[in-house]
């Protein structure tokens, strides 16, 4: 008896996927840890997404599998950071976070499906060559205090 090479966790209705890498730049520098999401023009069950690595490259995945189904997409890019942590020491001398701030670092223009200027078409001939997208100048806007 031989073991099959199919992945039992792959949904049967997941379409064929094609390689896609998005290189995210901000202010002329790679934007690490940015969330890149594809939004299909036509309704799709699975949304491709990925986080950019330290070099700003997001290797797109769909339902955890590498690649993107063929189609036309709008691309949103977002990133938030948390800092300004304030700690107190608990009864067991462990430090407990009592407050922090959350900041968005990408303009709303790029993180909204309605306003993003970034679009892409994935076809059966897509080879995964990085596509570079710029999200403007670096920014830091407080959105929440914890």
Instruction: Detail the DSSP E strand segments found in 41-111.
Output: 49-51, 57-59, 61-62, 65-66, 68-69, 71-78, 80-89, 95-104
Q: How far is CA 38 from the centre of its chain?
A: 9
Name the one residue in this structure whose structure tokens are 């199919």: 6
Confidence band for 3, pLDDT divided at 50, 70 and 90: very low
**Which tens digits make up the pLDDT trace of 94-104?**
777 666 788 89
17-79+106-136, CATH topology level: Immunoglobulin-like (2.60.40)
Residues 38-61 have pLDDT tens digits of 999 877 889 999 999 999 999 999
Of residues 44 and 118, which shows the higher confidence score? 118
3-state secondary structure (DSSP) of residue 85 = strand
Q: Rounded CA gap, 10 and 70, in Å?
A: 17
pLDDT of residue 76: 98
What residues contact residue 92 under an 8 Å CB cut-off, 6+ apart?
none
């Amino acid at each position: 008896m031989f073991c099959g090479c199919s992945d039992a966790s792959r949904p049967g209705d997941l379409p064929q996927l094609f390689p896609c890498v998005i290189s995210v730049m901000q202010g002329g520098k790679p934007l690490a840890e940015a969330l890149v999401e594809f939004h299909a023009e036509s309704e799709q069950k699975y949304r491709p997404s990925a986080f950019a690595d330290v070099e700003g490259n997001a290797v797109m995945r769909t339902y955890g599998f590498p690649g993107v189904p063929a189609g036309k997409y709008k691309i949103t890019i977002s990133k938030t950071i948390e800092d300004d942590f304030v700690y107190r020491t608990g009864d067991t001398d462990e430090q407990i976070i009592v407050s922090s701030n959350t900041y968005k670092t990408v303009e709303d223009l790029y993180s909204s499906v309605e306003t993003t200027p970034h679009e892409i078409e994935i076809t059966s001939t897509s080879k995964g060559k990085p596509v570079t997208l710029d999200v403007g100048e670096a920014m830091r806007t407080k959105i929440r205090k914890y």
